[in-house]
């Protein structure tokens, strides 16, 4: 969930990177052992978007106690003054990632977000202090926008120069409450040009549950997101699980945030699975939506799982794991997958990967993969690619893990290891190379004459061959219609002891065969089942010669 207070413009051209707040201080106030505190305070400034500090208070005394954490961007996390803290001009957006539980939404819980400067230890009775600047954001302007529980990214645009922000959590009703504060950051120019992977890598995740159309609102909504970061861990066997729970009208969301805005028409890949069915029902595909965003603004219309623009591919060796490939016409920097809100919705969905980068997935099952890469004479390496999408990616094949020149095609004729990479047609981003092993089985050959002759009175035909290769063990002959009409019978996989230096195949000659030429196709096979190319076999039946004329001379002296 992304909330915006103020206007944020997204530029293009210069690469931008996050600059996280790096220094913090706990300003919580408690009375009589009750009230505010912060656990794991340093997590809010460690630069890891997965980690969070926990702001909490117990039975807040009608707003007199609170949990408050102040952060700024001083690179020296141990500094006791603000001399090294950078100052940002008014209008610089600040991105703040928070998480609120459902029981805080809709009650008079006080949240204050305030730009500050001069975080310092003033010494004496004053101790640590700061200076508020610009306008603060309070629960009245913030919580009204929060229609869901879970992680939210809030964007504020201070109207004064600032060095940091403070987050205060309290309760006007004295209700106990807890909130997580993950980080605050600003976007700044990258010191170097980002490469494809740095520009397109997923760097953050938001997830949670919204009320949807559940009666009673968010408090009665059900739904969970388990292991949300598994959708960006580069492991296609681990997954984030989104579940609507018993209230199908609840909405569950999972948002992947990328490092930079995309190129228009760039492709996003989503690897997912319905754990409750053998195959992903195409009707159920319409019950979840994929919404691209550019920061807080929707980038085009929501995309249903069964939309015509979505390429859906069932991965080999998986009964129900699919890759959705989606071209997004607008620039986007995050993808939200939302499920629920209707009675016929899926109840669970596994999300294995959400990525803008090309990736070659090979067949998971080793036996199936080996079968796909074992062929007679040549192997087409495309058969190993489980997520082959030639509409969006070009593929290249190599004999080396790095460098080298690509092979002229995906078809190889020699045993060995080969390396496959995919190239995004829009961005030019190149996937890591994936190694596969091809086994090319030898194809047998046999050398026969253009014409084999036999006499009409012969009972057998001698087919003399001069050589064989790759150890054939059987032969087959498929006669044409004319030959079959004269009694020639097709021969299929007849065993024979072939010699590499030549020999003779004996076949029966039909007694009804009259003189003439008879055509057939001869092939031989070896023990691997590999067959030779089709060889034209021509049998010429010679007519029986007439009896010799004997001219006897009666006057001979003998």
pLDDT confidence of residue 11: 44
pLDDT of residue 8: 41
Q: Do 133 and 257 fall within a single domain?
A: no
Torsion, CA 217, CA 223, CA 226, CA 230, rounded to 10: -80
Helix (H), strand (E), coil (C) string for 458-508: CCEEEEEECEEECCEEEEEEEECHHHHHCCCCCEEEEECCCCCCCEEEEEE
Q: Where residue 558 falls among pLDDT bands split at 50, 70, 90?
A: low
Q: Let me know if residue 44 belongs to a domain.
A: yes
Structure tokens at 169: 């959590």
Q: What local confidence, expressed as pLDDT, does residue 446 receive? A: 98
Average of per-residue pLDDT across 350-361:
95
**pLDDT by residue (tens digit) across 100-117?**
765 555 554 578 899 999
Task: Among 189, 213, 237, give the residue marking a domain's end.
Answer: 189
409 pLDDT tier (thresholds 50, 70, 90): very high
In a domain, 102, yes or no: yes
Question: What integer pLDDT is reported at residue 556 of this predicted model?
Answer: 57
Q: Mind listing the pLDDT tens digit for each residue in 9-52? A: 444 568 999 999 999 999 988 665 566 889 999 999 999 999 99
Higher pLDDT, 348 or 110: 348
For residue 78, with 0-12 CB atoms within 10 Å meaning exposed, 13-18 middle and 19 or more buried, which class applies?
exposed
Segment 359-388, tens digit of pLDDT: 999 998 999 999 999 999 999 999 999 999
> The domain that contains 399 carries what CATH number?
2.60.40
Please give the backbone phi and psi of residue 98, each rounded to the nearest 5 degrees, phi first: -130, 160
Average pLDDT, the chain: 87
CATH code of the domain covering residue 217: 2.60.120.260
Lowest-confidence segment of 73-77, 231-235, 415-419, 441-445 by average pLDDT: 231-235
Residue 413 has pLDDT above 90, yes or no: yes
CB 155 within 8 A of CB 296: yes
pLDDT score at 175: 66
Shared domain check, 95 and 32: yes
The verdict on residue 244 lying in a domain is yes
533 shares a domain with 423: no
Is the pLDDT assigned to residue 414 strictly greater than 70? yes
Residue 509's closest CA among 451, 477, 457, 461?
Answer: 461
* Highest mean pLDDT of the ranges 221-230, 265-274, 442-451: 442-451
Q: Which contacts qualify for 445-448: CB closer than 8 Å, 24 or more apart?
A: 445/469, 445/470, 445/524, 445/532, 445/533, 446/472, 446/475, 446/498, 446/522, 446/524, 446/532, 446/535, 447/502, 448/522, 448/535, 448/537
The mean pLDDT value for 343-354 works out to: 81
Contact 164, 71 (CB under 8 A): yes
pLDDT (tens digit, 9 = 90+) per residue, 158-194? Answer: 999 999 999 998 765 556 778 899 999 999 999 999 9
Q: Give the predicted TM-score (pTM) of the model.
A: 0.83
The CATH number covering residue 467 comes to: 2.60.40.2550
Provide the percentage of residues in the chain whose pLDDT is more than 70. 82
Whether 141 shows a pLDDT value over 60: the answer reads: no
The confidence score (pLDDT) of residue 185 equals 98
Q: Which of 145, 172, 189 is the last residue of a domain?
A: 189
Q: Confidence band (pLDDT; 50, 70, 90) for 216?
A: very low
Top-confidence range, 223-227, 303-307, 519-523, 546-550: 519-523
For the residues of 162-220, what is the DSSP string, one character each?
BSEEEEEEEETT---EEEEEEEEEEEEE-SS---HHHHH-EEEEEEEEE-TT-TTGGGG
Residues 55 and 154 in one domain: yes
Domain of 340, in residue numbers: 196-355
Closest CA to 318 of 282, 283, 352, 269: 352
Cα–Cα distance measured from residue 67 to residue 479, given in angstroms and rounded to the nearest whole number = 91
Query: Does one domain contain both 337 and 379?
Result: no
461 occurs within a structural domain: yes
pLDDT at 236: 86
User: Distance between CA atoms of 140 and 149, rounded to whole angstroms?
Assistant: 17
pLDDT over threshold 50, residue 404? yes
Position 313 scores a pLDDT of 84
- Checking if the pLDDT of 2 tops 50, the result is no
According to the model, what pLDDT value does residue 214 have? Answer: 46
Residue 472 located in a structural domain: yes
Strand positions, DSSP E, 305-404 = 311-314, 321-328, 334-340, 348-355, 374-376, 379-380, 393-398
* 549 domain-assigned: no
Are residue 131 and residue 245 in the same domain, yes or no? no
Mean pLDDT confidence for 269-289: 75
Q: Among 409, 441, 473, which residue terminates a domain?
A: 441
Given a cut of 70, whether residue 535 has pLDDT beyond it is yes
Both structure tokens of 213? 């159309």
Domains held by the chain: number: 4
Q: Is 47 helix (H, G, I), strand (E, B) or coil?
A: coil
Q: Which pLDDT does position 128 carry in this prediction?
A: 96
For residues 433 and 290, membership in a common domain is answered with no
Query: Higher model confidence: residue 57 or residue 517?
Result: 517
Same domain, 16 and 28: yes
Euclidean distance between CA atoms 436 and 369, whole angstroms: 9
Same domain, 380 and 329: no
Let me know whether 211 and 228 are in one domain: yes
- Calculate mean pLDDT across residues 401-416: 98
Q: Judging by DSSP bridges, how do beta strands 334-340 and 288-294 pair with one another?
A: antiparallel
pLDDT classification of 504: cutoffs 50, 70, 90: very high
* Residue-level pLDDT at 421: 98
pLDDT-derived band at 211 (thresholds 50, 70, 90) equals low
Q: Is residue 551 part of a domain?
A: no
Q: How many CA atoms lie within 13 A of 171 on its CB side?
A: 23
Question: For residue 553, is it within any domain?
Answer: no
* 386 lies in the same domain as 308: no
In this structure, the answer to whether residues 351 and 456 fall within a common structural domain is no
């Amino acid at each position: 969930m992304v909330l915006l207070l103020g206007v944020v413009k997204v530029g293009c051209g210069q690469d931008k990177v996050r600059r996280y707040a790096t220094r913090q201080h706990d300003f919580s106030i408690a009375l009589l052992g009750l009230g505010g505190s912060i656990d794991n305070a340093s997590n809010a400034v460690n630069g890891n978007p997965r980690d969070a500090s926990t702001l909490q208070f117990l039975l807040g005394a009608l707003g007199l106690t609170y949990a408050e954490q102040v952060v700024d961007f001083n690179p020296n996390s141990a500094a006791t003054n603000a001399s090294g803290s950078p100052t940002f001009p008014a209008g610089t957006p600040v991105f703040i990632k928070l998480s609120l539980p459902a029981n805080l939404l809709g009650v008079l819980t006080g949240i204050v977000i305030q730009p500050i400067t001069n975080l310092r230890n003033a010494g004496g009775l004053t101790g640590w202090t700061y200076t508020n600047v610009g306008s603060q954001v309070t629960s009245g302007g913030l919580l009204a926008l929060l229609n869901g529980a879970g992680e939210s990214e809030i964007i504020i645009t201070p109207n004064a120069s600032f060095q940091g922000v403070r987050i205060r959590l309290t309760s006007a009703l004295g209700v106990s409450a807890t909130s997580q504060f993950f980080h605050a950051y600003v976007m700044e120019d990258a010191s170097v040009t980002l490469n494809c992977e740095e520009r397109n890598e997923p760097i953050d995740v938001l997830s949670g549950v919204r009320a949807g159309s559940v009666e009673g609102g968010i408090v009665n909504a059900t739904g969970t997101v388990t292991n949300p970061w598994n959708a960006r861990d580069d492991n296609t066997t681990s997954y984030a699980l989104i579940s609507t729970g018993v209230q199908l009208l609840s909405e569950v969301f999972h948002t992947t945030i990328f490092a930079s805005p995309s190129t228009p028409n760039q492709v996003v890949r989503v690897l997912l699975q319905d754990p409750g069915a053998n195959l992903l029902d195409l009707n159920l595909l319409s019950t979840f939506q994929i919404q691209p965003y550019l920061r807080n603004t929707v980038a085009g219309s929501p995309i249903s799982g069964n939309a015509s623009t979505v390429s859906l591919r069932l991965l080999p060796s998986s009964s129900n794991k699919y890759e959705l490939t989606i071209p997004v016409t607008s620039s986007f920097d995050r993808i939200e997958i939302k499920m629920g809100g209707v009675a016929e919705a899926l109840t669970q969905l596994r999300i294995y990967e959400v990525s803008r980068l090309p990736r070659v997935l090979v067949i998971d099952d080793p036996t199936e993969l080996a079968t796909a890469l074992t062929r007679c004479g040549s192997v087409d390496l495309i058969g190993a690619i489980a997520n082959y999408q030639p509409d969006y990616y070009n593929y290249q094949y190599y004999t080396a893990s790095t460098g080298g020149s690509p092979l002229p095609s995906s078809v190889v004729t020699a045993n060995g290891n080969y390396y496959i990479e995919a190239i995004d047609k829009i961005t030019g981003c190149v996937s890591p190379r994936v190694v596969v092993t091809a086994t090319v089985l030898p194809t047998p050959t046999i050398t026969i004459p253009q014409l084999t002759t036999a006499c009409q009175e012969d009972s057998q035909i001698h087919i003399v061959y001069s050589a064989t290769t790759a150890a054939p063990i059987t032969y087959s002959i498929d006669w044409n219609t004319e030959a079959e009409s004269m009694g020639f019978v097709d021969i299929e996989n007849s065993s024979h002891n072939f010699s590499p230096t030549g020999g003779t195949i004996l076949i029966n000659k039909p007694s009804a065969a009259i003189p003439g030429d008879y055509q057939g196709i001869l092939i031989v096979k070896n023990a691997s089942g590999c067959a030779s190319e089709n060889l034209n076999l021509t049998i010429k039946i010679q007519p029986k010669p007439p009896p010799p004329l004997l001219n006897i001379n009666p006057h001979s002296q003998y």
